[in-house]
Amino acid sequence: MRSDLLHLAGGFHVARALYVAAKLGVADLLADGPKSSAELATATGTHRASLERVLRLLTCAGVFSQDDERRFGLTPTSMPLQSNAADSLRDVILFQLGEEAHRAWGELMQSVRTGATGFEQAFGAGVWEYRAHHAHYGELFDRAMSAVAATHIEAVLAAYPFAAFRRVVDLGGGIGTFLIALLSAHHAMHGVLFDLPHVAASARQQIANAGLARRCEVQTGDLFAGVPPGADAYLLSRVIHDWDDTRARAILQNCRRAMPQGGKLLLLERVLPGAPARSPAARAHLVSDLNMMVMNGGRERSEEEYRTLLAASGLGLVRVTPTTTEVSVLEAEPLQG
């Protein structure tokens, strides 16, 4: 229907309005109760009438509410927009809809025409190089990924039997959100967080704050150069989807070299369905796939594509364990011979 198509086109405008509200911290300002557009404009240093128009659209979308006195308030949808909420998604919104992503997605047509990432077209550098040289963006990425991890940690821990492992290496583990939860749930387990040097300081602080410094060390390095040897389980949480097949194989082959016989490799990833379905979950998978293309040059994959990729890296896919979230646990082990 024509209205359905127009509704899809309007998603761009709602997303930009949502970014403005997140950037301005509107949800934080509403934490103690409803406020008028004049009060919010004064607090944010913005033009009252223009801000009100943004908030009206977001109210229509269910993000905010408006009372009889035309004051704006929080709804269950906007509660996670608060920066100090336990389930805060503000950093995720700022990362996914921020200026870097906006400019990169503006190059989507060039990505489609050339196969290059939109990010590199927009900034003249790959996303990882850019993050390493722009601390604010790198730190926002780490916080956003930590918030994303928090949405599936409980489900992953409930779905997969981690208790069998004594030493787990979390490769590309960021600031340690998942590994901290894993070690907190399994008191006999020891962990190694492995990531780039510019992430290490924040990771060490988070681990120390959790009281896990004795059971968890932080090592720095490059996944493409090698990974720490000798663990009985290696974890890659939403890492492989960042890379094309060639680069993904290089990481997986380094894991294979480091793993002892009997060791396990666990990938926490979305798994694409065999054919697109009209469901929120399928849409989220395919949006993420396109985002990987534009931002990183990576992709989401089906179970069969993961099986093929792992086999080319000397690893066999043993099982895929779904969770109650969009993430599944793909368990692999070294192939014999």
Residues annotated as catalytic are 241
Residue 196, judged by CB atoms within 10 A of its CB (0-12, 13-18, 19+), counts as middle
Residues 275/290, Cβ–Cβ less than 8 Å:
no
Residue 268, judged by CB atoms within 10 A of its CB (0-12, 13-18, 19+), counts as buried
Report CA-CA distances (Å) from 203 to 2, 44, 170, 212, 281. Answer: 49, 32, 12, 11, 31
Residue 89, judged by CB atoms within 10 A of its CB (0-12, 13-18, 19+), counts as buried
Residues 6+ positions from 319 with CB-CB distance below 8 Å: 330, 331
- How many C-beta atoms surround the C-beta of residue 211 within 10 A? 12
User: 3-class SS at 8?
Assistant: helix
- State how far the Cα of 296 lies from the Cα of 188, in Å rounded to an integer: 37
The shares of helix, strand and coil residues in the chain, as percent rounded to the nearest 5, are: 55, 15, 30
- State how far the Cα of 262 lies from the Cα of 282, in Å rounded to an integer: 34
- How many C-beta atoms surround the C-beta of residue 218 within 10 A? 24
- State how far the Cα of 256 lies from the Cα of 253, in Å rounded to an integer: 5
